[in-house]
Structure 1
């Protein structure tokens, strides 16, 4: 991305807002961010001198500024535009193109993920904006999570289990469910459904989903036809859950990047059909 005169970039990560003078300075953030980190990036022009003085007064650190999101008000940066950036979740570093409409930072900008390359994104029902700082509303990043899912079947068909791992910036949830005697594909769908139900139960509104089942990922995106009636029923259930999120993104990952969900699925094989176990760990 070519640098523009007087441009500056506002980056929100969890409860911290950083201000950068060069887009190249942001690249390290994008490549180092793990799946639990949710970044929002906006662009403005001609950072006012009073704003710079305010930033310094509230804690100058990092490059070049970094302050608590609670200290951000709607008039601080003026008009900002959502800014395209390299999506850390996307294989090969493809570009995540956010909406180019101009809004202010105080109204939390929900990204237009319909143009995401390399995976599928589904913006759903519109909701009122949430404030970035203060006590009026929860931060939108607190409503976001990532989900890894995997299924296991010993015999295909045989004793099967579903596993899912859910993360936000503060916690990690590990889920296991016995699914009886089933094929691996059924177990994969059951694991996705398990994770989506749990995410909705916990109140998450934005979700990034990854799994090593190419069949499930492509059928959810509508890229592959569904021939088996049982698969059609499971896919329909998963899509109904997907539509309850404000934004939904699913992508296929290699098996070696899905080891935690795989471990939960293998543990779930020993559970009774429909029996669910869960545990939670603070990050």
Structure 2
């Protein structure tokens, strides 16, 4: 799609609204919308100066941006038009709907704030930190992260641990959780779930996941069937978590490229090895 002069796009997925200056920047969101929350896309021209000033005054500067849907008020982006798009990942070639009216746009973008006493139109402190800057470096530090996950079991089944490494441009989180007496596959899933939960709690909206479990990666992608009920429950929980991200990607890597997560998983075995639930975290600033 050729870019038009001064165009910008307003995108909602779940409780997050993103403002993008290029349609190509929205492409990674399509894949995660197929099985997760749908996207609503609108197009505007020449982002109003008052909107730029509003964003800058509250810690959001550069483009693209990301704010909470509850902080979008009518007229913030000026005049917007519907921007239906063809889902390239759907075999049926379905088109996502977008309302053409300004009033319905606010309904599509904004939360029902009637249940939020004292709600404000200003971004919260956490939302300010989630803003995307104009450079790729700012993108990685503010909104996007990579996750490496792993699991370990001494005995398979036996005392087991889950490990995860969350990394953005400025920080590395090392996570480990004792998961009790479990199989290696369960521990692998628990490592993935641990990492996804922590990423969401820390405010990340885009995530690239890597792990050396071909089973977990393939089942999450829907390439392999889930036959075991225990695995099905864990897979379902992981998919529910992944659908909360604006963008999600997962791929299998060889064990030698997952050594940091492996270290955390093996350390986690000694965290109340016979009882699940204890989580430890270290953070290093780069």
Shared fold (TM-score, shorter chain, > 0.5): yes
Cα distance change of structure 1 residues 274 and 111 upon mapping to structure 2, 3 Å threshold: same
Residue number in structure 1 paired with 2:264: 264
Residue 128 of structure 2 corresponds to residue 139 of structure 1: no
Deviations along 1:146-204, one digit per CA (max 9) or x if unpaired, are 00000000111111000000011110000000001100000000000000000000011
Residue number in structure 1 paired with 2:108: none
Where in structure 2 are the equivalents of 1:106-185 lying within 5 Å? 106=21, 110-113=25-28, 121-123=31-33, 124-125=36-37, 126=39, 134=56, 135-136=59-60, 137=65, 138-139=131-132, 141=139, 142-185=142-185
Moved beyond 6 Å, runs of 4+: 42-45, 127-131
Cα distance change of structure 1 residues 164 and 127 upon mapping to structure 2, 3 Å threshold: farther
Residue number in structure 1 paired with 2:79: none
Where in structure 2 are the equivalents of 1:25-40 lying within 5 Å? none
Unaligned runs of 5+ in 2: 9-18, 43-50, 66-130, 134-138
Name the Cα RMSD after superposition.
3.0
Aligned residues: 183
Residue number in structure 2 paired with 1:223: 223
What secondary structure does 1:251 align onto?
A: strand
Deviations along 1:78-136, one digit per CA (max 9) or x if unpaired, are 569xxxxxxxxxxxxxxxxxxxxxxx964796431378xxxxx42354478998x9444
Residue number in structure 2 paired with 1:245: 245
Query: Does the 8 A contact of 2:186 with 2:231 survive in 1?
Result: yes
Cα distance change of structure 1 residues 114 and 143 upon mapping to structure 2, 3 Å threshold: closer
Cα separation, 2, equivalents of 1:186 and 1:105: 39
Query: Does the 8 A contact of 2:20 with 2:26 survive in 1?
Result: no
Q: Normalization by structure 2: what TM-score? A: 0.57
What secondary structure does 1:279 align onto?
A: strand
What secondary structure does 1:163 align onto?
A: strand
Cα separation, 1, equivalents of 2:182 and 2:20: 49
Cα separation, 2, equivalents of 1:262 and 1:108: 38
What secondary structure does 1:280 align onto?
A: strand
Deviations along 1:184-225, one digit per CA (max 9) or x if unpaired, are 000000000000000000011110000000000000011111
Cα distance change of structure 1 residues 127 and 263 upon mapping to structure 2, 3 Å threshold: farther
Unaligned runs of 5+ in 1: 1-41, 46-76, 81-103, 116-120
Q: Normalization by structure 1: what TM-score? A: 0.58
Cα distance change of structure 1 residues 105 and 180 upon mapping to structure 2, 3 Å threshold: closer
Residue 129 of structure 2 corresponds to residue 214 of structure 1: no
Cα separation, 1, equivalents of 2:210 and 2:144: 14
